Structure 1
């Protein structure tokens, strides 16, 4: 008997997310499947539920929410044989979109039932996993202001980006990319495993989830007008035409900001304050199996 545990973030995206037991039982009959549905109540709760479900012998954990919910559930799965399923219910849904997980709830559940899994890489940053992307600089500042705003709509994200561009402060940054060291003063350091970061937008359209590489984007100091131009390219899905950015593939990255004590960072679209000024990022190859 297969044990499937659905972990639902009720406030992801438009909010009021639920799963009807009757629809689940129609597709997953009780004589063949053990079905459980849990609802998260706070940040970090999805991770706790996932760990408990793994200890109870779950075969597949299905994250029902946005990239933040997916991150919490998937982070519990890394290093186990448990499969990850995704039902996109968030605002951005970057990882689900990259994996081609879309359609009606019934269509997604039907594909889940087939249990066809794809091995993907994941990133590791100072004890945290990321499956879509992570970022320092204005990227983290935007997410910080986005979360403070309370709304999860695209307009709220644009508003947060404008506020961040006005208040952003540059810091001297030492980077070591695959053992090659350099000193820069960046607006953004963006590291991605996925070709999409949500809302259909991308800074790394060539990135692949299972190529054993992470894609790094370095954006230098920009004028306010150049920042606006950058924003327009991102919104118009034309970022590759923004010639101020440098893009490269790598497997490890060390970042040191000596003028700081703590580091603001976003991990799969969620803001974190790391109690250090030294950041280590690396790829973990084929670390997760996702039902697609």
Structure 2
């Protein structure tokens, strides 16, 4: 008999929580199940800390990438095994791990103990397991989280649109406003020039290929190889940026785009050369606000149930168009 703590997103509909609670009780009746629906992040942290102290073997996250991210902050580097049950909007982590909402497949995965060690990305002391970054994409994540918290009906819209909501908000921002560009200094031992500067509307840090359900942003990236992907958009016009985004959404990564830079590394430092602080988003959540982001990788730092693992490859393109700093 295993001891399992199950965390359900307190912001999800009550019906969904009850349905999943009943399903898990039905299929895992031989195990000791403890259900949690903490009303706040602080409450969740205390309950997870108690789980770790008491030797809980498994934690289930019933929610989206944001719910998983909160749990990951506490579970990083511990022996606790994490199982994701995707009930969120994009569910990027579950998608990468090959997990669907099929309860029978989830139970089979658990019974077979299909577990893999996964790398975590560390941004100024905060962990991220999927994708994140700064600039326009961070603005999209912030806008969605703000709308979700201020207007209850927006959650119904998200349930109807699914992960398409990210594309809709991104398209709205690009076409309706003059989106800003940020002057960023980038330092990494895996850059040929070590230190570069770029003017970018958005920059991504990727631990897996897919972002927001549909964007195959880093096709060669793997979350088990001790490295992460850096992808930088340096497009200066609305038209060229839209063309690049549409190409990626269609599954045709624009590898020959001279305004697109990407490389693999295990360390990078980002510094905003302008006055304001920037928001770094990760796993769909607002992680860190700062002018400087020290980003490193923690290999094999959390153990997750999964149906598949990535293919390890490495690429570096577009460095010839960057200006040495």
**What TM-score comes out, normalization by structure 2 length?**
0.81
Alpha-carbon contact 2:116-2:304 (below 8 Å) kept: yes
Counterparts of 1:97 and 1:84, CA distance in 2? 15
Measured after TM superposition, the shift of residue 283 of structure 1 is 0.6
Measured after TM superposition, the shift of residue 106 of structure 1 is 2.6
Alignment coverage as a number of residue pairs: 288
Alpha-carbon contact 1:233-1:242 (below 8 Å) kept: no
Measured after TM superposition, the shift of residue 16 of structure 1 is 4.2
Alpha-carbon contact 1:196-1:203 (below 8 Å) kept: yes
Given candidates 155, 170, 173, the residue that maps to 1:164 is: 173
- Equivalent residue number for residue 266 of structure 1: 281
- Equivalent residue number for residue 6 of structure 1: 6
- Equivalent residue number for residue 174 of structure 1: 185
- Equivalent residue number for residue 268 of structure 2: 253
- Equivalent residue number for residue 95 of structure 1: 93
- Equivalent residue number for residue 323 of structure 2: none
- Equivalent residue number for residue 116 of structure 1: 114
Deviations 1:156-212 (A, max 9, x none): 323321343324222221110227111111122101111211323220111111011
Measured after TM superposition, the shift of residue 258 of structure 1 is 2.9
Alpha-carbon contact 1:62-1:86 (below 8 Å) kept: yes
Given candidates 119, 141, 144, the residue that maps to 2:142 is: 144
Counterparts of 2:203 and 2:20, CA distance in 1? 41
Counterparts of 1:22 and 1:113, CA distance in 2? 18
Counterparts of 1:15 and 1:198, CA distance in 2? 25
- Equivalent residue number for residue 39 of structure 2: 41
Deviations 1:258-278 (A, max 9, x none): 32342211111112451x311
Name stretches of at least 5 consecutive residues in structure 1 with no aligned partner.
none
Alpha-carbon contact 1:44-1:72 (below 8 Å) kept: no
Name stretches of at least 5 consecutive residues in structure 2 with no aligned partner.
149-153, 307-325
Deviations 1:77-122 (A, max 9, x none): 1111111111011111111111111251232123123222101111
Given candidates 291, 297, 306, the residue that maps to 1:283 is: 297
Counterparts of 2:299 and 2:137, CA distance in 1? 25
Runs of 4+ off more than 6 Å: none
Counterparts of 1:217 and 1:139, CA distance in 2? 12
Alpha-carbon contact 1:188-1:218 (below 8 Å) kept: yes
Alpha-carbon contact 2:235-2:260 (below 8 Å) kept: no
Other structure's SS at 2:211 match: coil
- Equivalent residue number for residue 213 of structure 1: 227
Change in CA separation of 1:155 and 1:134 when aligned onto 2, cut-off 3 Å: closer
Other structure's SS at 2:137 match: helix
Other structure's SS at 1:254 match: strand
Alpha-carbon contact 1:95-1:197 (below 8 Å) kept: no
Measured after TM superposition, the shift of residue 10 of structure 1 is 4.7
Change in CA separation of 1:225 and 1:40 when aligned onto 2, cut-off 3 Å: farther
Other structure's SS at 2:140 match: helix
Counterparts of 2:252 and 2:47, CA distance in 1? 39
